[in-house]
Chains A and B, each alone.
Chain A
Amino acid sequence: MIPALIGAGALLAALALAGFAALLSFWAGWRQEAVLARAGRRAVYAAAACLLVAAAALEWALLSHDFQVAFVAEHTDLVTPVPLVVAAFYSGQQGSLLYWALILSLLGSASLAAAAALGVRLAAYAAGVLAGVLAFFLVVLVFLASPFDLLAFPPADRLGLNPVLRDRGMLIHPPFVLAGFAAFAIPFSFAVAALLAGRSDSAWMAHTRQLALTAWALQSTGLVLGMWWAYHVLGWGGYWGWDPVENVALLPWLATTAYLHSSQVQERRGRAGTLRAWNFGLVILAFLLVVFGTFIVRSGVVQSVHTFAVSPIGPWFFGLLAFLVVLSGGLLAFRARMLAAQRPLELAANREGAFLLQNLLLVGVAAAVFWGTVLPLVSGLVSGESRVVGAGFYERAAGPLLVVLLALLATGPLLPWRRTHPSWRALAWPAGAGLLALATLVGFGVRDPVPLLVMPLLAAGLATVLFEFGRLLRRPRRLRVLGYRRRHYGAYLAHLGLLLLAAGIAGSHFWQQQRDVVLRPGETANVAGYQLTYQGTLQRDLGDRSELVAVLRLGGETLEPARVQYPSLGGQGLTRVAIRSTPLEDLYVILAGGEGDSASFRILVNPLVTWVWAGGALLVLGVAFGNLGAGRRPSPVAAPVPALVRG
């Protein structure tokens, strides 16, 4: 009761402060009043402090099992383990919105603290937009989805989390995705502020570069953790189902990936205004996709295997989306003359050209994913008959674009900046590696054209990255070079991670093997060279749950796929898959059921899945290495120009 009162009060105070900050900041920016602008920023910091208090109050309510608070009663019970009680903060609708607002206010405050150098008007408008977005979330939190609503008749104990959510993957996956979503709002705020202020220079971009990268890294982590959780817990043998909920998390990631590359072109050639309008557009698009995704997920307008509490906040997010589309579209049109480049990008085989082509392809992939996601909605409205698409659609529509992107990943980094006539000799390495991979695959009897195209392209990309690190090793004082060009090498490390991840996805997609078997004790199944002997089942009683474990012997090892029952939760079951990972392939065993003394299994062999997780980790490590603490960067002119063109 007391934490709920404190929390509700803190939210109300945060709303007042955010609303005040928004109005004051816009006024200060309009009048160019530095003192008022500073006051506006401080109001944002104060709102962040209030949100911290509200978050602490919610954790307090959760940990003290204050079942009078509806949110606590609906998401936890007395036997829920403490880490899961803590995590219930962001597992429910209201709590996740509070977490989102909290991250937005904290990262926003951090970015505003250093914004004064951008000039009064830009900094004030940025604070205004940011506070406006924050105020929207607080309106939702205070009036529509408060985590501090009280129950008239509090229960003594409640149902806890669903068993499939009782997993460490679920503890860490949502906060990363949500924090990534929240972080996208900050580059957006500065971009809109620059448009409002009529500033066509790249200062807003330089200022939010770290945060854009942070947002991207958080999103990448969240996506890979979500895949990891689905693979280990959901027990269907895969990790990506092209479900709308997954798609809407992927969309802003695609837009931001494009932006991280195209922004480099503007960084190098900013004075000519090259790609200036495009970069504004991409940052705005990324955040619009975040809002769109939130609308899709929280409104229930699209059928998904994930059920989120369908609530009245859907229309509100649709309203925000519509408002932001009109606002940013109008601003871009209004500033079109200012944004026009004095020197447009020439069509040439150089680094800029590769980046722009990559951007167009990424936007194309995003368009395909977007279309597949909204098709049920659009077709239902147009013809009254709802059409849905499955994985096949995404593979056919986005697959060819992804293949061209892989080719760019192998060639783009070797193309020089600015020049229009590159030396094609540089491409000898990736081309050689690709041909070698092709010959190897053909030698191993692969005849399917798609793997024969994709795998050599991945090998070529790998050669390109290794070539770059090889050049570093040949240089004198290589550690110093690694240090002052860490952004460069961090990016290559991220490329390496992406290539591994792509190889893992490709391998498990092309060469997954599957067999369903029914075994009696003592019988052996032979799947893809694995001899699995079924020894029988055993029953384990573990307090709140009981497990039926099937024991399978594989050589000297034991695999124990199981079915877990939670009698207290309506008898819901949980499949626990047995996974035996090696660097080359996973043996993935699902216990499907049993009759008498026989048991049935679905056995999958998933090649290269470990590479997906390793690649994801490397991807994020690369971004972290390249950017954490890398505030100082030699100017592009002073940076050594790659000597590659000279061969």
Chain B
Amino acid sequence: MYAAIVFLPLIGCLIAGLFRKQIGARAAMFVTTGLLFVSAGLSIITFAQVAWGGVETQIVLLPWFSIGDFQASWTIRVDMLTAVMLVVVTSVSSLVHLYSIGYMEEDPDQARFFSYLSLFTFAMLMLVTADDLLQLFFGWEGVGLASYLLIGFWYKKPSANAAAIKAFVTNRVGDFGFALGVMATFAVFGTIEFDAIFSAIANDAAVTPLWSEQSSAVSETSISFLGMEFAALELIGFLLFIGAMGKSAQFFLHVWLPDAMEGPTPVSALIHAATMVTAGVFLVCRMWQVYDAAPYASMLVTIIGAVTALYAATVGVAQNDIKRVVAYSTCSQLGYMFFAAGVGAYGAAMFHLFTHAFFKALLFLGSGAVIHGLHHEQDMRLMGGVRSKMPWTWAMMIIGTLALTGVGLPMGAGLGYGFSGFFSKDTIIEAAYFAGEAGNEVGMFAFWMGVIAAFLTSFYSWRLIFMTFHGRYRGPSEVLAHAHDAPWVMRAPLVILSIGALFAGAAFFSSFVGDRSEAFWRGSVPAAHASAEGHGAADAYLEQADNTHAEDMQHETDASAAAPTVTAEEAEDEHSAGGAAAPHAVEADHHAEAADDHGGGHHPPEWVRWTPFGVTIAGFLIAVWAYLLNEGLGARIAARGGPLHAFLYNKWYFDQLYNATLVRGARGLGDLFWKGGDQKIIDGLGPNGVAAAAAFAGRRQSKSQTGYLYHYAFVMLLGVAAFASWVLFTASNSGAPS
């Protein structure tokens, strides 16, 4: 069954790709979509089995590499983390397939499009089911390839080609770091299998790095990189995170994501909302043991995540292209996930990934419906007031926006009531607060960044809604006349996704990050009760970040002496099994005080709980004021062209900066190597030069064949004389004349 989940999309891809001429576009669409739905159904079954049945397996399909000590095989690993990703990937992908049937109606190349979509899904599934870093890397590169193909799907459009290349090249930068990370892992651990790595870290086992003869404990192994000494785990975490940055469009490597909107809108929804960009988050969560033991790498993750969250939100405020706004919002939300992972709230990161997939896909597909209905118009300045023409789309977009901005009331038991984004985002913000309060240097920074970003998110999201659906229509009137809601084949996925956007948060809150999380994750990510378990857990993150090792030691005594309770025993178990020990150690200390409200956990101060709510409302109100009540105010501010607006509109001038330095530099270097290095030196002295020399030698050779007998005899005698002299010389040198 697990193999079917992964390989059905591949089969669909091959059928649609190879036999598209034979079976026709319609059949190709239905085959790929049907297979994806089967795969999605199986994924949901798998999810249920793993979440409530406790099934966890690793199925070895085929051996792949066996080179000396280096072993790798094609494996399907099924645990909770994988199961979550399976559901996210296959359900969004199948809905996008369905939606595309409507959206790509008029495209002449549907079969190719569906083939690529399925290929992408397959690669993503290989990524999430990987049991070692190599297969993960395979999937990683596979999604990179598929995204290149899909972004550049309209390959006749130069801008689409440029965007595809940009995405590919930017990803390569990250992939390079990732590949180095894989190599470093192998060099340190001698294996790239997850379980082996994790148990080595958990037990702080002695490892013998490839470059040295002596073995040392994992935490004490250091590695020399770029002339400096790093702790091995820090470096591995750092390198892997570079890969994650590329794929998840984090600050510095984010430039490709907005441009990727050149692809068809369903692609944006699939790749740039729900799946591919979450690969980086998945990677960090999958390797959480590494990050747990690498405080500085985690700190970097936190900072980059927090900065991205704010940066993308500020840029989103000034954009006019409807898809770009959503794209920057994706970028920003990914930042949330990363800083959650950075402060140790892996469960919260995964939770946000899960809910985000629904509402972001909803928003993208909704934008697609708007674009579709307005005859491929994407500029919000040429929209407005189309709510009456497309009420369904409007309703869906409203749900998506409510979920994205995280509207909800933080009161009552647990966290409160609200849309799905509310649960996950507030969990993350609170986790950052706890971490900061507990002394994590960057925790507070992340908290405030998250709060400001939440404010901006609310503002630009509502700005999008108001500019698009409300007010006066500003585009050409004949387009408005033909504006319409999307057909049902496109509407149905929206409805399904909106259900997810409405309820996924409330339904899965306790499993992902609440009191049931321990039984839910079973160690695939630490069942860290970032907010629900409260203070203690956050404390633990910090102390563990400071000194994992000492904490581990201390925990043994603490747990057994202070609180020989069920929780302490759990902690013991956890320790020997995984390495999620430290949180539980302190948790045991706090057990007594936390015992009375174990379900609700330790609550943050009220102001922390209400702050996200407050800024969300504030953003909403300002958007109402600027775009609904005083329509045209935003446009006037933009028209006045203050430096701040220009700065934001031009995305902090990142593209210009990269163009001026990296792109031009690379092109110059490339020209130098191509014309000077390759053509002149390598080709000139290499193939062409050698060939010319050989031909020349051949001609000389034939010329020396004069036909005159005395020449021949002369050459022979010359040879005899040469050999005789040689023998004479060497023999007298060896001192043996007689």
Indicate, yes or no, whether A interacts with B.
no
